[in-house]
Amino acid sequence: MEKATFAGGCFWCMVSPFEELPGIGGIVSGYAGGHIENPTYEQVKTGTTGHFEVVEITFDSKIFPYERLLELFWQQIDPTDPDGQFHDRGPQYRTAIFYHNDKQKVLAEESRQAMADSGKFKKPIVTIIEPAATFYPAEDYHQDYHKKNKQHYKEDREKSGRDEFIKENW
């Protein structure tokens, strides 16, 4: 099993697109990329810790290749927004791909270049590609939030503008 780590705005919205796919062993919401150890949600949401909200995906690349994860990742985000995603604003909601090995780095860079070359977006692609940082799992109440708090998740997602963007662009 391998790991893939993606920041795509609110981590609640980045779980369901990847779950229940063949070869996906698990998805954990959490934080990566910051400058303090063991951050809490309350700290990260201030935007001052340097962390991103991320999902860490465990996958079997023989069944579900990393390239396919990248394709799915791009289809969940606005890769041109440097200040967050949809109604979630701040540095903790920026988009990023955290690679775990040299192969993932190359594939991530190639996929970002392909996205830029596609002409799909008029603005530049600003999604960051960095080495995987220490991953800190988010608090238990954030795990599988879309299942535990269905109504709140549904309302929040509807207000966010994410689904309209995905429908319009993908």
Q: Which helix (H) or strand (E) holds 67?
A: helix 66-74
**Which of 160, 125, 130, 132 lies closest to 146, judged by CA?**
160
Ordered alpha helix ranges (H), 84-144? 102-117
State the pLDDT at residue 170: 86
Task: Write out pLDDT tens, residues 49-64.
Answer: 999 999 999 999 999 9
The full DSSP string for 7-51 is EESSGGGGTTTTTTSTTEEEEEEEEES-SSSS--HHHHTTT-S--
Parse the chain into domains and list their residue ranges.
Answer: 2-169
Catalytic site residues?
10
Task: Write out pLDDT tens, residues 74-110.
Answer: 999 999 999 999 999 999 999 999 999 999 999 999 9
- pTM of structure: 0.96
Homologous superfamily of 2-169 in CATH? Peptide methionine sulphoxide reductase MsrA (3.30.1060.10)
